[in-house]
């Protein structure tokens, strides 16, 4: 039977996966949208700040909920690459919402989340806005790249090596490993 992450880690993982996907999709859609820009931005900011909160909870959870050991199909070097890319995702997911919030603050308006006005965390500053606006795009593209690598790695293991890496993060019935299957 495949070892799994603790249930709270799995819930936090899929919750952030859905929200990050939505934040990226809405982010790219709204900058190309004329008519729905304001509504999309409101949803984007709310999802983005929710991600910040969830990722802080996830980081605390990462130190308090032990992940299962890696399967033997993951070697030392690959293990290091995986750990570092996971750290990078945590870092990007803390930085991106903070950059977004600071950038909106620098326009002189306040970020609105669930209809509530957040405090401004930066002075009104055009130069600061432009720098952070660029940073927000760069971090978004970096996120897309790291997430694509993350998903590709999991698929490579699950489909090609058949070591059930994906099951570690899944819900539902546990199936015993078939004795006729690959080792």
Residues that bind ligand HEM (CB under 6 A): 20, 23-24, 27-28, 31, 41, 44-45, 48-49, 51, 93, 96-97, 100-101, 103-104, 111, 133, 136-137, 140, 143
Comparison of 12 and 111: residue with beta carbon closer to ligand HEM: 111
User: Which residue's CB is nearer to ligand HEM, number 36 or number 83?
Assistant: 36
Please give the backbone phi and psi of residue 49, each rounded to the nearest 5 degrees, phi first: -70, -35
Cβ of residue 64: shortest distance to ligand HEM, in angstroms?
A: 23
Query: What is the rounded CA–CA span in Å between residue 87 and residue 104?
Result: 26
Burial of 154 (0-12, 13-18, 19+ CB in 10 A): middle
What is the smallest separation between the CB atom of 60 and ligand HEM, expressed in angstroms? 18
* Least distance to ligand HEM, CB of residue 69, Å: 30
Residue closer to ligand HEM by CB (options 47, 165) is: 47
Q: What span, in angstroms and rounded, lies between the C-alpha atoms of 17 and 154? A: 14
Q: Kindly report the backbone phi and psi dihedral angles of residue 164, in degrees, each rounded to the nearest multiple of 5, phi listed first.
A: 60, 35
């Amino acid at each position: 039977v495949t070892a799994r992450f603790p249930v709270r880690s799995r819930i936090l993982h899929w919750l952030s996966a859905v929200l990050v996907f939505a934040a990226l999709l809405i982010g790219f859609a709204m900058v190309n949208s004329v008519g729905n820009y304001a509504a999309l931005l409101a949803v984007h900011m709310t999802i983005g700040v929710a991600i910040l909160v969830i990722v802080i909870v996830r980081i605390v959870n990462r130190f308090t909920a032990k992940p299962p050991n890696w399967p033997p199909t993951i070697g030392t070097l690959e293990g290091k690459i995986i750990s570092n890319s996971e750290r990078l995702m945590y870092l990007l997911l803390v930085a991106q919402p903070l950059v977004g919030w600071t950038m909106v603050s620098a326009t002189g308006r306040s970020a609105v989340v669930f209809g509530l006005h957040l405090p401004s965390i930066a002075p009104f500053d055009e130069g600061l806005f432009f720098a952070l606006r660029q940073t927000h795009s760069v971090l978004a593209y970096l996120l897309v790249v790291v997430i694509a690598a993350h998903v590709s790695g999991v698929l490579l293991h699950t489909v090609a090596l058949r070591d059930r890496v994906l099951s570690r993060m899944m819900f539902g019935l546990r199936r015993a490993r078939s004795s006729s299957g690959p080792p």
